[in-house]
Chains A and B, each alone.
Chain A
Amino acid sequence: MSIKTYQNLKLVLTVVLAIIFSQAFIFNSYIIPISALVIVVLILMILRRRVVGVLADERDQALAGRAALIAVQIYSWLAVVIMMILYASRKLDPAYSPIAMTLAFSSCFLMFLYSLVFRFHRGDKPLSTKAAAIFFSIALLVAAGIVLARFLVRG
């Protein structure tokens, strides 16, 4: 199978998956989209093995790296701005507050994940057991401090 055929089939499968997802959400079914996703991933894995030629080379990887960095930066900035707007207008609708929090935490998690993967690929040594224990102890203390401060403020 040629790369073009594979890419066309991938596009078709993505469209089919999107249709299945939207219909499943309308009918409130969660088993159908999950099973469809698993089936599509399996089909793509089988198809990828049959492709003759190079699917991605070093230029694609370099471009993917740059695109990922820019995408993370754009998402983070957008999430921060939208989060601020939603949080500032939470008095208009209380539903804005959890959306703002979700955006804030998702962008934090994305940046954390990015830095972890970046360090992994850079070949940094993983934290030693002692350093990891110190790091998690400090994180736990900070979290406990925040909870205690909130508890004290609320009285």
Chain B
Amino acid sequence: MKNRIKEFRLRSGLTQEELASRVGVRRETIVFLEQGKYNPSLYLANQVAKALKQEIGTVFDLR
């Protein structure tokens, strides 16, 4: 699944470590999410979107 996590994270001035601690996952999971190598659960996708102060549909390409 394509996503814009890296773009919004850099725009928010967050590091991968900071985003990871905000959503309660390990930094490696953020790395895999950004690379599109891991499809998150609906809960995690929502947490990531919240942490980036965006709508879930804006961060993740749900089509």
Between A and B, how many residue pairs show CB distances below 8 Å? Answer: 27
Q: Which of A54-62, A118-126, A142-150 is the interface stretch?
A: A54-62
Is A155 among interface residues, defined by CB-CB distance under 8 A?
no
Q: Which of A3, A53, A56, A59 contacts B38 (CB 8 A)?
A: A59
CB contact list, A105-151 vs B, under 8 A = none
Contact, CB under 8 Å: A57 / B26: yes
On chain B, the residues within 8 Å of A54 by CB distance are: 20-21, 24-26
B58 located at the interface, meaning its Cβ lies under 8 Å from any Cβ of chain A in the complex: no
Please, which residue of chain B has its CB at the minimum distance from the CB of A52? B21
List residues 7-63 of chain B with CB under 8 A from any CB of chain A: 20-21, 24-26, 28-29, 32, 38, 40-41, 43-44
A60 near B26 with CB under 8 A, answer yes
Q: Are B21 and A59 in contact (CB under 8 A)?
A: no
**Shortest distance between the CB of A136 and any CB in chain B (Å):** 38
Smallest Cβ distance from A57 to chain B, in angstroms?
Answer: 4
The reply to whether B26 and A58 contact each other, CB–CB distance below 8 Å, is: no
CA distance A95 to B21 in the complex (A): 56
12 A-B pairs whose Cβ atoms sit less than 8 Å apart in the complex:
A3-B26, A53-B26, A54-B21, A54-B25, A54-B26, A57-B29, A58-B40, A58-B43, A59-B25, A59-B26, A59-B29, A59-B32
